Amino acid sequence: MEKVTQAVHDSGGKIFAQLNHSGRAAHSINRNGQPIVGPSAIAIKNQEVYTKDGKREYEIPEVLSIDEIKAIIKDYKVAATNAIKAGFDGVELHSAMGYLPNQFLSESSNQRTDKYGGTMERRSKFVIEVVEEMINAIGENKVGVRLSPSILIHDIFDNSPIDLYSYLIKRLDDLPIAYFHLIQPLFPLGDNTLYPEDVLTTFGSLISKDIIVNGGYNREAAEKEIQDERTQFVSFGALFLANPDLPDRFAVNADLNDPDRATMYAGGDEKGYTDYPYLENAGKL
C-alpha cells in the first residue's frame, strides 16, 4: 500500500482511505461463518446480498453490546492509525448507504433504548464518537465523513431525516474534520417528501468545511456545481470504475466507457474491473 500512496504523492495528489463497517449489510458466508452484527436485531428486507455462493437474503444481525460498540470504535481508531502509517493523508468514515454508522443513525435499523438509540441525539452518538476517536488518534483535518441523507438503500428510513442530518452535520462541523462527502439521491424518491431532493440546497448552508458531492454527475454538471460555488469538489464512482483515466478524458472531452453494472459487486475475475479500454482507444466528441 505504501507504493500506492507514494505514487499518488509523487504525482502531486492526496489520498484518503475510506473506512467502512458493513454491519447488518453483510452475510455470514462472507465472514467465514461469523454472524453479522448491528444496532438492533432487524434484518434488511426485500433485498439480497452478494456472497461467494451467489445472492442470499439478508440475515438478522446479532445486537451489539455496549462493550462491543466501544471495541468497534477502537477498531476505527486502529484502522485510521494504520492508514496514516501506510502513507494516506487521512481517512474517510463511510457513514452512508446503509452501512453500520448509517444503521445507528436510522430509526428503521436502530431501535435501541440505551445511550445509542431512541432520540436523534443518541442515534448520532456512534458516528460522533468514531469521528472524535479518529481525530484524537491521527490529528485534526485528517478525517472526512461521508453521508447519504436522501438514500433509503439497505432498508434505511427515518421520519425526520432533515432534522436528524441537520443535527448531525452541525455537531460534526464543530469538530476539526477535513470535509463532508455528501451523496445526492441515487434512486427515485417518488412521493416521499420527507427526504430532500438536493442535499446541497438543504444542508450546504450548515457546513463551514469543504464539501465533496457525489451522485450521478457528469463532466458538465460537476463543473457547474463548482462554478456556482455550491461545493469544492465532485467525486465519481461508477464513471471512474469504467474509466480509470477519467481526468484525462474530462480534460479533452473524450467519449466515456459505459459502466457494466452486471459485473459490479459480483466478483470473480477482471471483467468489469480491469478490462475497460483506456483513452488511446476512445473517440473524441
DSSP 134-199: HHHHH-TT-EEEEE-TT--TTT---S-HHHHHHHHHHHHHTS--SEEEEEPP-S--TT-TTS-S-H
H or E segment and range at residue 62? strand 62-63
Q: Which of 76, 99, 195, 276 is catalytic?
A: 99
Strands 54-57 vs 37-38: parallel, antiparallel or unpaired? unpaired
Whether residue 242 contacts residue 276, with contact meaning beta carbons closer than 8 Å, is answered with yes
% helix, strand, coil for the chain, step of 5: 35, 15, 50
Q: Would you say 109 and 38 are in contact if contact means Cβ atoms under 8 Å apart? A: yes
Rg (CA), the chain: 19
Taking residue 168's Cβ as centre, other Cβ atoms within 10 Å add up to 23
58 among known catalytic residues: no
The candidate with the shortest Cα–Cα distance to 132, out of 84, 183, 93, 167, is 93
Q: What residues have CB less than 8 Å from 37, skipping those under 6 apart?
A: 23, 24, 61, 62, 63, 64, 68, 100
Instruction: Name the burial class of residue 171, with classes exposed (0-12), middle (13-18) and buried (19+) by CB atoms within 10 angstroms of its CB.
Output: middle
- Degrees, nearest 5: CA angle 84-89-94: 85
Cell (9 digits) for 93: 468514515
Catalytic residue set:
99
